[in-house]
Structures are given as structure tokens and as C-alpha cells.
């Protein structure tokens, strides 16, 4: 959820006060407790500061601030101190209210995403996305609940206001209509964003103790993911999965181009590099794993380090990785194209570390298939052309001739020249 954690924490705090402490606290104390519940509801996301400002290589829900057992331990200690040493009931209430807010955060995070509930005993993440039958509905349900919780929070605030009954009823009607429209809009929006597999990246397919998202060989067969025709072990060839998969024509492009701290991207609206990252991730080829391994050997040429959220979400970085691994060729030298090839357009930084003429945000697109008449069909995300399946000729008209081609899913052979 984006903005309902605090409101939900406050709502549960109000309910708890009514159930257990009604008439036992002053109005001022009640407001303080509601505020504390609100803060508790958003507190686990304090790790986003570390994620965005320090190190984005690990998803923030894997941090200690999203561990249920850590909060249980802290709650027990604080409650003991409040009961034995402070001896004022309101302090025990404050500890419980804050804990309720925190647990509500972890619970709703488990609807769409996943949480390491049992850390430090286990790093495995749990959530409703573990159940494949529920995944198609989780995005819409999650955000519909978000609008409902936020609407109920506003109703709570209205109930505290000293306005006339007519004014309160009018505001309640406005909130109710807003919640209905926003919730229905969520289901409509869900038809225009990328569908994420929020479960597989955090599992450990080959049992080697490395999460799939960070494993260069997910299925443990001795082949790195980008050289494995069935990297995710789903018994479907990566080439077939790509060429017969969706064309993404219903998906909207991110109007902020990765701005607003990447919130639109997290909602499934892609930019050019994020789209590439998503396509290969869906094939069982998480780019970050192999790119991090390469970066450790040779950092030269990379615009963003692994600690940046843009490390595997950058056209320049992807191009540098392909260059280091011997899979990037000048476009004019490659005579035959294959599904999965990445075409790089524009004049971004030289893949060998030179300055180039561009800003590092050159365009890129992926070959989906070659039609029977030889037409090259490509998947791309572009602000002007949108997201979806376009011909190479259409892209060339907008971007110019490709400069480099990266061979991803096939080896380079003499027949390619």
C-alpha cells in the first residue's frame, strides 16, 4: 500500500480504545494514542529512507524493520518497562497501540507484496502472492482496500469534528462516492499496467540458499540464467515464452519517466529500461544477479552501482554488462537477428567506458520474433510510441538506425555475420 498504512493504524487504534479503554482516558490522551497508531502504521516503511538514500540492492521488505518477531521482542520489553517501572496505564496503552499499528502494516503488506515475518529465523517472505490462483486479483484488491481504509479514516475525522449534522452528512456522501469511484478505477487501471510475479524472485528454486532474484543460476543446472533456455525451470523454452507471450499493447508508459521516487514504475507503468528489466525477469533471467557479478569484476563503464535502484534499470548499465560479457556487437556487423536480442539506439555512453555524446539514456528494444516475411517485431516502451509490439522499421523512423545489438538468449556464431 502507498498511503493507507497510517490511516489503518489510526482506525485500529480507535477501535481498540473503544473496546478496552473507553472512559479511561482523556480526549487529549485519545488524540495522542490515535496519532501514535498512525505513526505505528507507517513506521516499518522508515526503511525506505535507507533504501533510497543508501542501498537499493535489497528490497526494503527484507529489512529488519519488516520483521514481526523483532517487533514482538521490542513490544515485550517496552510493555514490561511500562508495567513495572512507569506504572501508568496510558503508557501500556501507548505501547500496545503502536504495536497494533505496526502489525497492521505488516498484514496489509502481505496482501500484494510479501514480508519476512519470521526474520531472523528465516528470510523467506510470505504473503498472498504465494497462492498463484490469487495473484491476478491482488493488485486490484490491495488498492481497493487502500481507498476503503483511507475513506474510513476520513469518516473517523469527520465524526470528531464539531460541524453541523447536515455538513457531516454531505462530507460522508462525498467520501463514500470517492471511495467507490477510486476502487472501481483501481480495477480499470489494473488492465493497463505490467503484471508482476511477486513470489518467484524471493524463492530459492535450487535450494542453494540464494534467493532467485540474486541467483545467477536459478535452477542449479550449471548454466547462468541468460544462457539457460529454461532458466526458471517452468518447462517452457525462454524463446517460446518470449515470442508467444503477451504483446503488452494494453500497458501505459510511465509519464514521469521513472520520477516520483519510482512509484509509477512500482505500480506497473514502465520506462524503457524498466520494461527490459521486466521482460527478462519474466523469462527467469533477473538481470541484476549477473550484472552484479560482472560489476564486482569490472566496474568500469557502469553509470550506476549495485546500491542504486537504477543499477539494472538503466539502458547504459545493461549495455555495459553485455559489452563486458562479449555479447555486444556493432549493429552493422550482425546480419541475423534472434528473439531476445536487445537493439540499442541513440548515442549514449560508449560501452567500453568512453564518454560518448549522449546522456546515458539511449533507447533500447527487444526482438520478440521474426515474421514469415522477414519483418522484425520488437517489444519496446517509449513515450511517443507507447508500450507494445512495434516493427523495427517503425522504431528506426523514430530513433534512427540501431548502434549496438546485444545477444541475450542465443550464442553468437559465425553465421550471424
Is residue 342 a part of any domain in this protein?
yes
Q: 164 and 205 share a domain?
A: no
In whole angstroms, give the CA distance from residue 399 to residue 342: 14
Q: 173 and 227 share a domain?
A: no
Is residue 34 a part of any domain in this protein?
yes
Query: How many domains in the chain?
Result: 2
DSSP H helices in 221-271: 238-243, 263-266
Q: 275 and 411 share a domain?
A: yes
Q: 155 and 256 share a domain?
A: no
Last residue of a domain, one of 185, 213, 243: 185
Q: 78 and 210 share a domain?
A: no
Last residue of a domain, one of 160, 185, 210: 185
Q: 13 and 85 share a domain?
A: yes
Domain carrying residue 369: 200-416
The confidence score (pLDDT) of residue 132 equals: 67
Model confidence pLDDT, tens digit, residues 257-295:
988 888 899 889 999 999 999 999 988 899 999 999 999
Is residue 373 a part of any domain in this protein?
yes
Residue by residue, what is the 3-state secondary structure of 137-203?
Answer: HHHHHHHHHHHHHHHHHHHHHHHHCCCCHHHHHHHHHHHHHHHHHHHHHHHHHCCCCCCCCCCHHHC
The confidence score (pLDDT) of residue 361 equals: 59
Is residue 376 a part of any domain in this protein?
yes
Is residue 195 a part of any domain in this protein?
no
Q: 170 and 204 share a domain?
A: no
Asked if residue 120 lies in contact with residue 65, where contact means CB atoms within 8 angstroms, the answer is no
Count of beta carbons in the 10 Å neighbourhood of residue 335: 8
Q: 180 and 227 share a domain?
A: no
Is residue 190 a part of any domain in this protein?
no
Q: 165 and 213 share a domain?
A: no
Which ranges of the chain have pLDDT less than 50?
348-360
Is residue 192 a part of any domain in this protein?
no
Q: 120 and 261 share a domain?
A: no
Last residue of a domain, one of 155, 185, 215: 185
Q: 334 and 377 share a domain?
A: yes
Is residue 89 a part of any domain in this protein?
yes
The confidence score (pLDDT) of residue 198 equals: 66
Q: 412 and 279 share a domain?
A: yes
Model confidence pLDDT, tens digit, residues 237-250:
888 899 988 999 99
Amino acid at each position: 500500500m502507498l498511503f493507507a498504512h497510517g490511516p489503518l493504524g489510526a482506525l485500529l487504534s480507535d477501535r481498540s480504545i473503544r473496546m478496552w479503554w473507553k472512559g479511561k482516558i482523556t480526549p487529549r490522551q485519545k488524540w495522542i494514542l490515535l496519532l501514535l497508531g498512525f505513526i505505528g502504521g507507517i513506521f516499518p516503511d522508515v526503511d525506505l529512507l535507507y533504501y533510497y538514500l543508501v542501498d537499493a540492492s535489497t528490497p526494503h521488505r527484507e529489512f529488519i524493520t519488516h520483521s514481526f518477531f523483532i517487533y514482538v521482542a521490542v513490544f515485550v520489553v517496552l510493555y514490561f518497562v511500562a508495567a513495572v517501572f512507569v506504572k501508568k496505564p496510558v503508557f501500556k496503552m501507548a505501547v500496545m497501540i503502536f504495536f497494533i499499528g505496526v502489525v497492521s502494516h505488516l498484514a496489509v503488506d502481505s496482501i500484494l507484496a510479501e514480508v519476512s515475518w519470521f526474520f531472523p529465523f528465516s528470510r523467506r517472505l510470505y504473503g498472498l502472492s504465494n497462492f498463484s490462483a490469487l495473484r491476478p486479483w491482488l493488485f486490484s484488491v490491495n488498492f481497493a482496500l487502500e481507498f476503503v481504509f483511507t475513506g474510513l479514516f476520513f469518516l473517523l475525522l469527520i465524526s470528531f469534528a464539531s460541524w453541523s449534522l447536515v455538513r457531516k452528512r454531505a462530507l460522508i456522501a462525498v467520501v463514500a462516492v470517492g471511495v467507490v469511484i477510486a476502487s472501481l478505477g483501481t480495477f480499470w487501471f489494473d488492465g493497463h499496467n505490467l503484471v508482476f510475479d511477486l513470489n518467484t524472485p524471493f524463492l530459492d528454486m535450487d535450494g542453494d540458499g540464494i534467493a532467485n532474484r540474486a541467483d545467477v543460476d536459478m535452477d542449479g543446472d550449471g548454466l547462468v540464467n541468460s544462457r539457460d533456455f529454461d532458466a526458471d525451470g517452468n518447462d517452457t523454452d525462454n524463446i517460446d515464452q518470449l515470442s508467444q507471450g503477451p504483446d503488452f499493447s494494453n500497458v501505459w508508459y510511465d509519464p514521469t519517466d521513472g520520477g516520483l521516487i519510482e512509484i509509477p514504475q512500482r505500480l506497473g507503468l514502465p520506462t524503457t529500461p524498466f520494461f527490459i528489466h521486466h521482460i527478462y525477469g519474466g523469462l527467469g533471467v533477473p538481470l541484476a544477479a549477473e550484472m552484479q557479478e560482472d560489476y564486482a569484476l569490472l566496474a568500469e563503464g557502469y553509470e550506476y552501482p549495485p546500491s542504486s535502484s537504477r543499477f539494472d534499470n538503466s539502458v547504459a548499465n545493461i549495455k555495459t554488462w553485455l559489452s563486458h560479457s562479449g555479447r555486444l556487437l556493432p549493429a552493422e556487423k550482425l546480419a541475423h537477428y534472434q528473439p531476445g536480442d536487445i537493439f540499442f539506439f541513440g548515442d549514449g555512453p560508449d560501452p567500453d567506458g568512453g564518454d560518448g555524446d549522449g546522456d546515458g539514456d539511449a533507447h533500447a528494444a527487444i526482438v520478440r520474433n521474426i515474421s514469415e516475411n522477414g519483418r522484425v517485431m520488437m517489444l519496446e516502451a517509449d513515450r511517443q510510441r507507447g508500450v507494445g509490439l512495434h516493427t523495427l522499421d517503425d522504431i528506426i523512423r523514430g530513433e534512427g538506425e540501431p548502434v549496438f545489438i546485444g545477444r541475450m538468449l542465443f550464442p553468437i556464431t559465425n553465421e550471424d555475420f
